[in-house]
Amino acid sequence: MAVGYLPWNIHHTGSIKLSSHRSHKTSAIRNIAHFANSVPDFRSKSLNFALSTSLALTLSLTGVGFAEAKVGVNKPELLPQEYTPVIDIAGFLSAGQENRIAHKIADLEKDTGFKLRVLAQNYPNTPGLAIKDFWKVDDRTIVFVADPTFGNVLNFNVGAQVDIDIPRSFWSRLKGKYGNMFYWKEKGEDASIEAAVNAIAYCLREPVGPSNCLEVR
């Protein structure tokens, strides 16, 4: 998800004769071609940047800003040996909780086609960008990073297709309800994680429309 940036800047390097309609038309065609050729490359670079920063807890819909960003992390050695949609580096979850969340994620993916992935960490102890390939993150993926480093334990990187179907305000409300410091310090990080997973699953199963995901459950 691109946040707050225009994907390209168009610069005119040659002189343009204002009196020439043909010159304007040629320039416009070139700009359109430049636009079309730039989109795939931008999307790839944008995804790499978003993941490297969000997985270091620097890209969050309502979290810390880029000016306060930590350095991105890439530690594939911290990845588990076998595939799992839940990686708990921080030890917030019991084995039973991990198993329960993994089953909920599998059912959600089967029902909706959206991929929810959960990473519990304490920055900088995190695999960071390495999870992009491990989880094959794409436009239908929600990367949920649970980390209390910056106060709110819930942080999300949302794929472009998810962003179309789910209003951005949902993630802000979710963070406010289950991610705030008062909640997770009283009930535990594990409770925040499970509550957030349940709320996301409920939201993604709602029919897409002007009233979907208006309530965090």
What's the domain count of the chain?
1
pLDDT score for 62: 33
Q: Are strands 86-88 and 115-120 parallel, antiparallel or unpaired?
A: parallel
Report how far residue 126's alpha carbon sits from residue 77's, in angstroms, rounded to the nearest whole number.
Answer: 10
The verdict on residue 16 lying in a domain is no
User: Is residue 65 over pLDDT 80?
Assistant: no
The verdict on residue 217 lying in a domain is no
87 beta partners: 119
Report the 10 Å Cβ neighbour count for 62.
17
Give me 94's structure tokens.
């019991």
pLDDT score for 209: 85
What average pLDDT does the segment 142-161 reach? 95
Q: Please report, for the domain that includes residue 98, its CATH number.
A: 3.10.310.50
Q: Are strands 86-88 and 154-158 parallel, antiparallel or unpaired?
A: unpaired
Report the 10 Å Cβ neighbour count for 100.
15
pLDDT score for 72: 77
List the strands of the sheet with 141-146, edge to edge: 86-88, 115-120, 141-146, 154-158
pLDDT score for 150: 85
pLDDT score for 70: 54
Query: Contact at 8 Å (CB) between 35 and 7?
Result: no
Q: What percent of the chain has pLDDT over 70?
A: 67
User: Is residue 138 over pLDDT 50?
Assistant: yes
pLDDT score for 213: 93
How many angstroms separate the first and last alpha carbons of the chain? 24
pLDDT tens for 176-198 read 999 999 999 999 999 999 999 99
Q: Give, in order, the Cα–Cα distances in Å from 44 to each of 33, 105, 139, 209.
A: 18, 26, 11, 29
| 12 — pLDDT class (breaks 50, 70, 90) | very low
The verdict on residue 4 lying in a domain is no
Give me 129's structure tokens.
């960008």
DSSP string, 161-206: HHHHHS-HHHHHHHIIIIISHHHHHHH-HHHHHHHHHHHHHHHHHS
Residue type, 51: L
Contacts of 85 (CB under 8 A, 6+ apart): 101, 102, 105, 106, 115, 116, 117, 118, 135
ω into 124 cis (within 30 of 0): yes
Query: Is the pLDDT higher at 73 or at 20?
Result: 73
Query: Contact at 8 Å (CB) between 176 and 84?
Result: no
Query: Is the pLDDT higher at 36 or at 79?
Result: 79
What average pLDDT does the segment 161-167 reach? 93
The verdict on residue 40 lying in a domain is no
What average pLDDT does the segment 194-205 reach? 97
The verdict on residue 22 lying in a domain is no
The verdict on residue 18 lying in a domain is no
pLDDT tens for 68-100 read 345 678 999 999 999 999 999 999 999 999 999
Q: Write out the residue range of the structural domain in which residue 164 sits.
A: 51-205
The verdict on residue 25 lying in a domain is no
The verdict on residue 1 lying in a domain is no
What average pLDDT does the segment 131-146 reach? 96
